């Protein structure tokens, strides 16, 4: 009986180890993750966070996007400069002419990848806004990580808000 319990524990550890190796070595295929955040279909799982102007988005937003008093290109550059200083973060795809970038940020301890797609939009009068779609690649919930990340990243742009 004790031997059977040991085998079961070892089998569980092997499965967990295989999942971890898969998560840590996962490739970041832009065809899968660099998607237009304005037309995204949100999953039913609670491991995403979506910020956009509701009037422009097809999905229900969690937070109405701020309006910035400067052009989208300036916002995109300032945002990118800030985001790339964040730990475990890199850009995996950029559509510079569309002011649209997808980043991957790995969690500090387990190194699980989360994907964050950001698109800056021009508004009249030299103003701009943005769309951010942050989501976990693995798991069902995220314990508020996506929301906390987006809130922090948006804070870096607060001085540009109208």
d(C-alpha 86, C-alpha 146), whole Å: 14
- The closest of 57, 94, 64, 55 to 77, measured between CA atoms, is 94
Pairing label, strands 63-64, 100-106: unpaired
> pLDDT class for 21, splitting at 50, 70, 90?
low
Cα distance between the two ends of the chain? 68
Q: What are phi and psi of 45, to 5 degrees?
A: -75, 150
Q: What are phi and psi of 93, to 5 degrees?
A: -160, 140
Superfamily (CATH H level) for 28-160: Fungal kinase associated-1 domain (3.30.310.220)
Q: What is the pLDDT of residue 15?
A: 75
Residue 1 reports pLDDT greater than 80: no
d(C-alpha 98, C-alpha 78), whole Å: 16
Mean pLDDT computed over 133-154: 93
Mean pLDDT computed over 30-37: 89
Q: What is the pLDDT of residue 76?
A: 95
pLDDT tens per residue across span 83-113? 999 999 999 998 878 899 999 999 887 788 9
Average pLDDT of every residue of the chain: 90
Contact 52, 131 (CB under 8 A): yes
The tokens describing 158, both together, are 């607060």
């Amino acid at each position: 009986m004790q031997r059977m319990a040991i085998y079961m524990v070892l089998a569980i550890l092997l499965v967990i180890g295989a999942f971890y190796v898969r998560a840590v070595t996962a490739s970041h295929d832009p065809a899968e993750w660099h998607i237009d955040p304005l037309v995204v279909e949100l999953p039913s799982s609670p491991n995403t966070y979506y910020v956009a102007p509701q009037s422009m988005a097809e999905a229900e937003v969690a937070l109405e996007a701020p309006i910035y008093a400067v052009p989208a290109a300036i916002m995109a550059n300032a945002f990118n400069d800030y985001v790339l200083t964040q730990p475990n973060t890199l850009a995996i795809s950029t559509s510079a002419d569309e002011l649209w970038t997808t980043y991957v940020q790995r969690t500090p301890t387990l190194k699980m990848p989360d994907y964050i797609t950001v698109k800056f939009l021009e508004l009249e009068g030299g103003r701009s806004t943005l769309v951010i779609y942050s989501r976990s690649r693995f798991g069902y919930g995220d314990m508020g990580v996506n929301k906390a990340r987006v809130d922090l990243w948006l804070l870096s742009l607060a001085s540009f808000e109208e």
